[in-house]
Structure 1
Amino acid sequence: MHSPTYGEVSYREMIQIIKRFISKSPHSKYNISVGTDSQNFGYTKTVVVVAIHRVGNGGIFFYDIRKVEKITNTSQKLFFETSMSLEIANLLSKALKEEDIGLGISIHVDAGNNGKTSKLIPEIVGWIKACGFNCETKPNSYAASSIADKYSK
């Protein structure tokens, strides 16, 4: 994973950084979000983001960039992005539980009511909730629609 603050870190190091970040202000409210966005070039550049927001007092984030075979179908691309977010959220959830960090994770989806993917929102949200996570869509899905979007271009 990459971090603008911590540079290149392993997955294990990311978990320890998150643990330290939360321990610095244990009584604060935190939102942990995982979101993915992708852009097409000669391939599909996919960026998965893990964001930890200390409400009212900043946050940190990590991202991973993967290049995959070009996905031209918008629906398939959104489902692929969601599957990547769920994969990371499952790993993160397990690691946080092992570290006794009892915070929920929200999946941020790069889809909103005004775009071509709006018709997929009920299915995507249902899938995410069935996997045990909260879900945010645009305009509240900042991990996907802002952070991941910035690094996917």
Structure 2
Amino acid sequence: MKSITYGEISFDKVCEKIKEYTSEDLALEYVISVGTDSQNVDGYTKMVSVIALVRKRKGGIFFYDIKKVKKIKNLRQKILKETQYSIELASNIMDFINQNHIKASLEVHVDIGTHGDTKYLIKEIVGWVIGSGFKCCVKPDSYTSTGIADKISKKGSKVC
């Protein structure tokens, strides 16, 4: 994984940073969100998964991972792959926060909404995420996928 603040960082170190960050002020509310967005770039699909840790009303940090996969042309298949990556990452984080008794809510943010080409996927994707044990956020509340991951996934992004 990568971080603007910490550079190249292993998933284990990301978990340690989550633990450190959430223990700085136990009176505050913490939200961990996971989201993935993708863009077709040249001959492949660039998948960007993000872990965002927000300290309500006190800022936050994020970590991201970039994967290059075989080009996915079908929108439904692309959203399914993004959601799969997010659920897998959220599951690993959930294991860590449960084992370490971290007080933070965990959300999966998906890049779909009630308007546009993805509206027909809402029941399926939201059902999958909730069935996997996570709160699911869609547009306009899915800032991790539709904001952070989207920006990094764009061709020419300065964050790499």
**In structure 2, how many angstroms separate the alpha carbons of the residues matched to 1:115 and 1:93?**
31
Residue 52 of structure 1: how far off its partner (Å)? 0.5
Query: In structure 1, what is the equivalent of residue 150 of structure 2?
Result: 149
Larger displacement relative to structure 2 (69-78 or 96-105): 96-105
Report Cα offsets for 1:63-88 as digits up to 9, x if no partner: 00000000000000000000000000
Deviation at 1:99, TM superposition (A): 1.4
Equivalent residue of 1:56, what SS? coil
Unaligned runs of 5+ in 2: 155-160
Give the total of aligned pairs: 153
When the two chains are superposed, the root-mean-square deviation of aligned CA atoms in Å is 0.7
User: Counterpart in 2 of 1:59?
Assistant: 60
Structure 2 match to 1:20: 20
Q: How far does residue 103 in structure 1 lie from its aligned partner after superposition?
A: 2.6
Q: Which residue of 1 aligns with 2:92?
A: 91
Structure 1: tracts of 5 or more residues without a match: none
8 Å CA contact retained: 2:29, 2:104: no
TM-score (norm 2): 0.94
**Is the CA contact (8 Å cut-off) linking 1:105 and 1:133 kept in structure 2?**
yes
Distance 2:51 2:26 in 1: 19
Percent of residue pairs identical? 49
TM-score between the two structures when normalised by the length of structure 1: 0.98
Runs of 4 or more consecutive aligned structure 1 residues displaced over 6 Å after TM superposition: none
State the AA in 2 paired with 1:137.
V
